[in-house]
């Protein structure tokens, strides 16, 4: 309701930061990078524009921070921007045909058609789309766009990530999934899928998203491939159960973001985030095929790798549900920057901070409590080769100073559960060890809520400890 | 309503009409009439309600005073009659009156919460559940207003004549009223390199006047000139023409669905459908085809112009499968043959036909034996919202004068904004062309167009042009009036089958589908950009959605005072059973005092069931809230010093038990909550209860902590089962005490 003339409030300071206008032609992008220390504002003055598939409201000032992102217009738009940018530029597309978004949009409309077909006949199963490719090909961005566009057309698709580096609605090191039914948070540094978009005890101006997550606690798949596969299976079966029970979600289908796999000429490379390549035997493609099976993928979108496309084509041509698997390779959009190590590290830290303390829109009040060593149960993956049969997967972690500043995953399990159960349990949250006093056998733990820590916790090996979280 | 009732109502209505001041006498008289005719109370209430609704702003307040007076003097039955409509009555009036009147209304509203002055009854004039929604709405509107006000302010500060003129109060450029989090809740201080927020700028906006740091300024460059000249001449391609018409029909249908009552749109759409039919059923000579093509080209430009109005470069301005000429030659390596394989008709022939079409007007002119300029000049001044740049003469422009002959057809052929053919095409001044197609660059005063505005469209004013032309060419008999009412097809769904999962197919621009993500979804929500259709159902959804926004606005402020925390993630089972319901608040399963869900988990114990060490009940653990015991020298517990705090739970009359809590290293009362007063602000009005007792008493009442959009299906049942266990355990516990 608008009540004109209501509540003329407060006179306030008049110093406005310099604003300027960014004009976007149809199918051009405004790309920007904003450091975690600064903020910028963006307002859509005319036309239509969107971030990762979610439209900007007209004349609403969005506050942006800590991100490398882009705002795209398909119809042309005028933006008003202000604030500090590390870098910023407009990428024009000479013609729509030259824009990668043409293919993305077509892909969306194709998926939309499949959804309609699915609900009109057949099993009601919407498309299960796996997006894969080498690093810096815009996989996550495409995944978000496909989800955003689908929700705009009133679909309720699942977005899943099996890339432990992402931290989709979770801390990094987690494989997760969530149903998206409403707009994403345009202001979220992660484009609406950051951990800041998960529920808190208070209301949220942008609808929260409810994830299910499994804690991998490693950066790379190959660091513990067996665990990764087990967790992909768990996540896949949760998503299948979800789509099975909810007709709307079933129709909406699933979009799965995957770890970077750089496949070339018979060898599989997995790229580190700092650009170093690790050659590895078949793991990458095997991993993808594992995802295809566990999520009953029937559409594979490869970004920027005809070789990978060819390899995947040679593998299997039937989905778990018996449908033909369709595979397409799309060009990698140019200008996707490979994120440097420092940037990614700072993003991870910021995510951890968001998780406990909230963001600029929601300040949260976590608690710091002191626990006796005997009051907590912390496990850690057994390192190295284990010759036991069956192999012991977890062991009680010895609590030492070394644990300081690490985030621990709190598992939805009981401390008395079998280790295997704990290892594959969904994560219900995280705590951060802020201090360990070995002499007094007490430790201080930062936790979103106060209360006893009765759940088993897992000490992963990634993301790295966040030393100054508590100052 | 019986005759007497009708009479009474009519009299009352008449008396109301004359009421234009707050004259006490008249109000008392009207109140007495209402009192004496209480048996016709419903009729009177209806009349008054109607009157308030329709009265001009100046007469609204007196009428409200009548309502107020009647309700306070004759609460039965009038409070009952006005109650259900109270919200509409009040809010409806509020929106139309000035701020002085609003203050009066605020005062009035306040009195409604109180018992009637002088009455023995302690009941308020209206029950709180009628008054509170109004208060909430006002609060929300104030918040929302602030947003709006501030954004308007921004316009003003930039000298932009936008929006209703509002006060020139300087306002920070952003910041939503509810946004700034209190400083105190921040972590002591952050990791140096990543100060997430600084205490001084809580809403994250640097209030410094420093110009943005270097960085390449987003200066617009014209898209690189490229691409060769238009294609080679040829005759009319009938498939191409059919396709164009199909596109226009789609466009027209969209227009029609948005503006059902515009006859001209309807007529035009009818003509198009007719034309389509003719083309499909008859073999027309080339000359007639050309005439049609010509007309269609004009229509395309005009409809485009109309569709453009709301937004700078119109989504609908894009032509479906029409590849611009240069596309076929330069950009897309795919040969037309491949294209047509992937494109189901009618799109297929289009690509092939594009180039020929470009040369049409000249051909047409020759064929028709008249100068091409006879093609009626089309005023397009209103077409693209960006005002023409200086290069153009302003006022009315004809497309031809801007672009030269051939432009119409070129535009038709390449209905999407094409790259200016700067190098190759001699005629079009690039600047003008750019102005036509895209938002202007260095022109800050670019005006955001009003969201919905019926387009003043040249051709709309002459919708029968096409019909006339058809008649003229002998394709259509009869007079305009005899044109059959068109059968309006429902909005055609994007034909999915034309897209295949191949990279060639995916790379073909299908810009006609774009509106399905934009305009066809309806106008966007001003708060979040989500679109809602203008249908009845869409309106309902939008209303629910806006209600949700306002509820959230309000609760955000409350929540900030309360302090919030990240919720634990739900269990696998809960996740699987949860259901996303946009714009529906999270509702606690019925019969539960506390939802015990993601929105109110006070520790890490929710979610999993069974196997828990020590067998502590879920509820018991959930309710494990404690306060520092006041009488054991606790610091900062229940009020400073803790003097005067009740040591017995007022509900169960049991003493609170102190115990030493390791984790806080202090003595606490377990399962205790402070109710009333402000924690830490002295003991006034404050009571301590057992958390569990308090919840029991307040079961079902507490709905404050709602979470948007999540409803847990099946959760209620499961929890009720658990509650059953709780009962037993609770019973045992009580026996033991
Ligand atoms: Zn909204
Ligand atoms: Zn009690």
Q: For residues A284 and A260, what is the distance between their CA atoms, to the nearest angstrom?
A: 8
- A61 and chain B in contact, CB less than 8 A: yes
Residue of B nearest to A14 (CA): B170
* For residue B586, pLDDT beyond 60: no
For residue A112, the chain B residues in CB contact (below 8 A) are 494, 496, 516
Cross-chain residue pair A210–B613, CB shorter than 8 Å: no
Contact B507 A97 (CB under 8 A): yes
Cis amide leading into A463 (omega within 30) = yes
What is the DSSP code (8-state) at residue B690? E
Q: How far apart are CA A326 and CA B328, in angstroms?
A: 27
Separation between Cα atoms, residue A7 and residue B715, nearest integer Å: 42
Ligand located closest to B654 CA? 2
A contacts of B665 (beta carbons < 8 Å): 370
Chain B interface includes A26 (CB < 8 A): yes
Handedness of CA B546, B548, B551, B555 (dihedral sign): negative
d(CA B367, CA B292): 13
Q: Return the pLDDT at B161.
A: 38
pLDDT of residue A130: 98
pLDDT at B451: 36
pLDDT band, very low/low/confident/very high, at A273 (cuts 50, 70, 90)? low
Both structure tokens of B69:
């007076």
User: What would the pLDDT profile of A297-319 be if each residue is shown by its tens digit?
Assistant: 999 999 999 999 999 999 878 99
A429:B575 CB<8 A = no
Please tell me if residue A5 touches chain B, with a CB cutoff of 8 Å: yes
The CA A118 to ligand 1 mean position distance, Å, reads: 29
CA distance B368 to chain A (A): 34
- Judged by average pLDDT, the poorest of B127-131, B490-494, B500-504 is B490-494
Residue A458, CB-side half-sphere exposure with 13 Å CA sphere: 31
- pLDDT tier at B4, thresholds 50, 70, 90: confident
- Angle of helix B24-36 relative to helix B57-73, nearest 10 degrees, comes to 50
- Which of B14 and B414 is assigned the larger pLDDT? B14
Of the listed ligands, the closest to the CA of B690 is: 2
Interchain CB distance below 8 Å, A358 and B144:
no
Chain-wide mean pLDDT for chain B? Answer: 57
**Mean pLDDT in residue range B411-430:** 36
A297 Cβ under 8 Å from any chain B Cβ: no
DSSP SS3 for B42: helix
Please give the distance, rounded to the nearest whole angstrom, from the Cα atom of residue A186 to the centre of ligand 1.
Answer: 13
A468: tokens are: 């100054």
Query: Do B91 and A1 touch, CB atoms closer than 8 A?
Result: yes
Contacts of B212 (CB under 8 A, 6+ apart): A17, A18, A20, A40, A81, A82, A83, A84, A85
Q: Is the peptide bond before B418 cis (omega within 30 degrees of 0)?
A: no
For residue B213, the chain A residue with the least C-alpha distance is A84
Mean pLDDT of A43-68: 95
Confidence of residue A251 (pLDDT cuts 50, 70, 90): very high
Q: How many residues does chain A have?
A: 471
The residues facing A302 across adjacent strands are A132, A329
State mean pLDDT over B181-201: 36
Give yes or no for A77 touching B (CB within 8 A): yes
Indicate the helix (H) or strand (E) that contains A80. strand A77-83
- Among residues A47, A64, A347, A357, which one has the least CA distance to residue A185? A64
pLDDT per residue over B300-320, tens digit each? 656 654 554 433 333 333 333
pLDDT in tens, A188-209: 999 999 999 999 888 888 899 9
Residue B400: its H or E element: helix B399-403
- Other residues' Cβ atoms within 10 Å of the Cβ of residue B535: 11
Tens of pLDDT along B7-18?
888 888 888 888
Measured between alpha carbons, how far is residue B317 from residues A22, B258, B448, B469, B719 in Å? 22, 16, 18, 24, 55
* Across A350-379, average pLDDT: 92
> Is the CB of A63 inside 8 Å of chain B's CB atoms?
yes
CB-CB: which of A90, A453, A471 is closest to B604?
Answer: A453
Chain A residues with CB under 8 Å of B546 CB are 1
pLDDT value of position A137: 93
Chain pair A-B, CB pairs under 8 angstroms: 561
d(CA B491, CA A212): 38
Cβ within 8 Å of residue A137, ≥6 positions away: A260, A303, A304, A305, A332, A333, A336
Q: Is the confidence at residue A454, as pLDDT, over 50?
A: yes
Decide if A444 contacts A431 (C-beta within 8 A): no
Which of A350-364, B21-35, B255-269 is the most confident on average?
A350-364
Residue A333 has φ and ψ, to the nearest 5°, of -65, 140
Q: Which of B107, B254, B505, B190 is nearest to A357 (CA)?
A: B190
CB within 8 Å of chain B, chain A residues 256-285: none
- In B, minimum Cα distance to A56 occurs at B529
Mutate to test the interface with A, among B95, B314, B569 (most CBs of A within 10 A): B569
Q: Where does B206-346 have alpha helices with state H?
A: 238-258, 263-281, 286-308, 325-326, 336-342
d(CA A29, CA A18): 22
Task: HSE, CB side, 13 Å, CA atoms: give it for residue B163.
Answer: 23
The 8 Å CB, 24+ separation contacts for B114-121 are B116/B72, B116/B75, B117/B72
A395 marked among binding-site residues: no
Residues of B in contact with A54 (CB under 8 A): 529
Ligand 1 centroid – CA A241 distance (Å): 30
- Cα(B390)–Cα(A332) distance, integer angstroms: 40
Strand A299-303 and strand A326-330: pairing? parallel
Residues in A touching B207 (Cβ below 8 Å):
13, 15, 17
**Rounded Cα–Cα distance for residues A341 and A356 (Å):** 23
Lookup: tokens for A133? 């490719």
A309 close to A329: Cβ distance less than 8 angstroms: yes
Q: Do A77 and B312 touch (CB under 8 A)?
A: yes
Q: Compute φ and ψ for A146, nearest 5 degrees.
A: -60, -40
Ramachandran region, residue A169 (left: φ > 0; alpha: ψ -120 to 50; beta: rest): left
Q: Cβ distance A173 to A164 under 8 Å? A: yes
Looking at the predicted complex, does its ipTM rise above 0.95?
A: no
Which pLDDT value is given to residue A468?
A: 84
Burial of B696 (0-12, 13-18, 19+ CB in 10 A): middle
Task: Tell me the chain B residues in contact with residue A375 when contact means C-beta distances shorter than 8 Å.
Answer: 662-663
Flag whether pLDDT at B489 surpasses 60. Answer: no
Residue B463 three-state SS = coil
Q: Residue B579 and residue A246: Cβ atoms within 8 Å?
A: yes
Among B149, B448, B559, whose Cβ lies nearest the Cβ of A46?
Answer: B448
Question: What percentage of residues in chain B have a pLDDT greater than 70?
Answer: 36
Measure CB to CB from residue A211 to each of B147, B569, B624 and give the nearest one: B569
Query: For residue A3, which of B94, B52, B59 has the smallest C-alpha distance?
Result: B94
Residue bearing tokens 């059953």: B724
C-alpha–C-alpha distance, residues A184 and A181, integer Å: 9
User: Between B6 and B502, whose confidence is greater?
Assistant: B502
How much is the pLDDT for A70? 94
Helix (H/G/I), strand (E/B), else coil: A34? strand
Do the Cβ atoms of B141 and A153 come within 8 Å? no
Q: Which residues of A touch B531 (CB under 8 A)?
A: 55, 152
């Amino acid at each position: 309701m608008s009540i004109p003339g209501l509540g003329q409030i407060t006179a306030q300071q008049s110093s406005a930061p310099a604003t300027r206008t960014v004009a976007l032609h149809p199918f051009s992008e405004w790309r920007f990078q904003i450091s975690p220390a600064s903020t910028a504002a963006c307002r859509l003055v005319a036309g239509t524009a969107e971030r990762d598939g979610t439209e900007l409201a007209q004349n609403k000032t969005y506050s942006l921070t800590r991100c490398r992102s882009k705002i795209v217009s398909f119809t042309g738009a005028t933006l008003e921007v202000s604030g500090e940018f590390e870098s910023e530029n407009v990428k024009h597309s000479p013609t729509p045909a030259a824009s990668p978004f043409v293919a993305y949009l077509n892909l969306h409309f194709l998926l939309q058609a499949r959804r309609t077909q699915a609900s009109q006949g057949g099993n009601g199963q919407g498309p299960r789309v796996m997006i894969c490719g080498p690093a810096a090909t815009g996989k996550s961005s495409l995944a978000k766009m496909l989800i955003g566009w689908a929700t705009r057309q009133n679909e309720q698709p699942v977005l899943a990530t099996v890339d432990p580096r992402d931290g989709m609605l979770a801390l990094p090191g987690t494989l997760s999934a969530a149903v998206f039914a409403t707009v994403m948070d345009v202001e979220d540094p992660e484009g609406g899928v950051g951990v800041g978009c998960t529920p808190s005890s208070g209301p949220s101006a942008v609808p929260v998203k409810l994830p299910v997550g499994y804690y991998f606690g490693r950066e790379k798949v190959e660091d513990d491939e067996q665990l990764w596969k087990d967790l992909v299976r768990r996540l896949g079966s949760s998503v299948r159960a979800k789509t099975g029970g909810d007709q709307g979600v079933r129709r909406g289908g699933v979009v799965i973001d995957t770890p970077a796999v750089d496949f070339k000429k018979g060898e599989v490379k997995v790229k580190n985030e700092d650009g170093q390549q690790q050659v590895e035997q078949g793991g990458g493609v095997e991993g993808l095929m594992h995802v295809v099976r566990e999520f009953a993928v029937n559409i594979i979108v490869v970004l920027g790798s005809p070789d990978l496309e060819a390899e995947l084509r040679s593998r299997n041509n039937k989905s778990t549900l018996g449908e033909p698997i369709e595979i397409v390779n799309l060009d990698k959009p140019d200008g996707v920057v490979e994120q440097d190590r420092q940037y990614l590290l700072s993003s991870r830290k910021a995510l951890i901070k968001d998780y406990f303390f909230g963001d600029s829109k929601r300040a949260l009040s976590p608690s710091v409590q002191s626990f006796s060593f005997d009051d907590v149960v912390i496990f850690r993956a057994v390192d190295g080769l284990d010759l036991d049969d069956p192999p012991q997967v977890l062991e009680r972690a010895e609590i030492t100073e070394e644990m300081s500043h690490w985030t621990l995953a709190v598992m939805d399990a009981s401390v008395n559960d079998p280790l295997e159960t704990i290892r594959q349990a969904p994560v219900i949250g995280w705590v951060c060890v802020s201090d360990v006093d070995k002499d007094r056998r007490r430790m201080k733990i930062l936790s979103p809520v106060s209360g006893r820590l009765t759940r088993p916790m897992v000490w992963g090996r990634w993301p790295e400890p966040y030393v100054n979280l508590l100052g | 309503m019986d005759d007497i009732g009708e009479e009474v109502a009519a009299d009352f209505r008449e008396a109301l009409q004359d009421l234009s001041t707050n004259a006490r006498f008249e109000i008392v008289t009207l109140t007495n009439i209402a009192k004496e005719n209480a048996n016709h109370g419903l009729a009177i209430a209806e009349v008054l309600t109607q009157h308030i609704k329709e009265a001009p702003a100046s007469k609204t307040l007196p009428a409200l005073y009548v309502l107020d007076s009647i309700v306070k003097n004759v609460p039965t039955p009038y409070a009952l009659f006005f109650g259900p409509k109270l919200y509409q009555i009040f809010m409806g009036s509020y929106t139309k009156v000035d701020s002085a009147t609003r203050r009066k209304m605020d005062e009035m509203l306040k009195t409604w919460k109180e018992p009637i002055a002088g009455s023995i009854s302690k009941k308020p004039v209206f029950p709180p559940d009628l008054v509170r929604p109004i208060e909430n709405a006002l609060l929300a509107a104030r918040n929302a207003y602030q947003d709006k006000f501030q954004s308007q302010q921004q316009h003003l500060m930039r000298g932009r004549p936008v929006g209703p003129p509002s006060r020139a109060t300087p306002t920070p450029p952003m910041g939503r009223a509810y946004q700034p989090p209190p400083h105190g809740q921040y972590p002591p201080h952050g990791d140096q390199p990543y100060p997430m927020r600084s205490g001084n700028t809580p809403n994250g906006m640097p209030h410094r006047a420093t110009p943005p740091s270097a960085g390449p300024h987003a200066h617009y460059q014209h898209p690189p000139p490229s691409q060769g000249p238009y294609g080679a001449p040829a005759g009319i391609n009938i498939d191409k023409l059919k396709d164009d018409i199909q596109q226009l029909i789609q466009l027209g249908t969209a227009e029609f669905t948005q503006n059902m009552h515009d006859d001209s749109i309807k007529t035009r759409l009818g003509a198009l459908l007719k034309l389509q039919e003719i083309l499909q059923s008859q073999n027309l000579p080339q000359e007639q085809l050309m005439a049609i093509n010509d007309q269609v080209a004009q229509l395309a430009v005009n409809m485009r112009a109309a569709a453009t109005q709301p937004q700078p470069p119109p989504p609908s301005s894009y032509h479906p499968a029409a590849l611009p000429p240069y596309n076929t030659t330069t950009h897309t390596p795919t040969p037309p043959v491949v294209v047509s394989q992937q494109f189901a008709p009618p799109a297929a022939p289009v690509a092939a036909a594009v180039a020929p079409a470009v040369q049409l007007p000249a051909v047409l002119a020759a064929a028709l034996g008249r100068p091409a300029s006879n093609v009626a000049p089309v005023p397009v001044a209103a077409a693209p919202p960006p005002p023409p740049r200086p290069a153009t003469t302003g006022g009315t422009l004809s497309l031809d004068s801007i672009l030269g002959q051939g432009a119409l057809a070129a535009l038709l052929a390449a209905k999407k904004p094409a790259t200016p053919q700067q190098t190759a095409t001699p005629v079009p001044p690039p600047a003008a062309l750019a102005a036509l197609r895209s938002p202007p660059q260095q022109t800050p005063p670019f005006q955001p167009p009003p969201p919905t505005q019926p387009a003043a469209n040249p051709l709309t004013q002459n919708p029968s042009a096409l019909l006339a032309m058809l008649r003229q060419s002998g394709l259509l008999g009869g007079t305009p009036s005899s044109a059959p009412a068109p059968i309006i097809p429902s909005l055609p769904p994007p034909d999915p089958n034309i897209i295949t999962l191949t990279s060639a197919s995916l790379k073909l621009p299908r810009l006609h589908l774009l509106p399905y993500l934009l305009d066809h979804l309806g106008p966007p929500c001003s708060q979040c950009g989500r679109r809602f259709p203008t249908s009845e159902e869409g309106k309902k959804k939008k209303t629910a959605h806006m209600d949700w926004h306002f509820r959230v606005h309000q609760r955000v402020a409350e929540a900030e005072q309360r302090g919030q925390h990240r919720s634990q993630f739900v269990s696998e089972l809960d996740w699987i059973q949860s259901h996303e319901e946009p714009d529906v608040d999270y509702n606690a399963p019925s019969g539960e005092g506390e939802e015990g869900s993601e929105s109110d988990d006070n520790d890490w114990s929710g979610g999993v069931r069974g196997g828990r060490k020590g067998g502590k009940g879920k509820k018991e653990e959930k309710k494990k809230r404690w306060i520092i015991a006041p009488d054991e020298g606790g610091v900062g517990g229940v009020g400073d010093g803790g003097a005067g705090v009740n040591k017995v739970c007022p509900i169960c009359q049991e003493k609170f038990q102190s115990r030493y809590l390791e984790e806080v290293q202090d003595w606490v009362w377990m399962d205790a909550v402070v109710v009333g007063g402000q924690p830490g602000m002295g003991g006034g009005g404050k009571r301590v209860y057992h958390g569990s007792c308090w919840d029991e008493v307040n079961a079902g009442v507490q709905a404050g902590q709602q979470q948007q959009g999540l409803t847990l299906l099946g959760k209620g049942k499961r929890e009720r089962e658990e509650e059953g266990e709780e009962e037993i355990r609770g019973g045992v516990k009580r026996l033991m005490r």
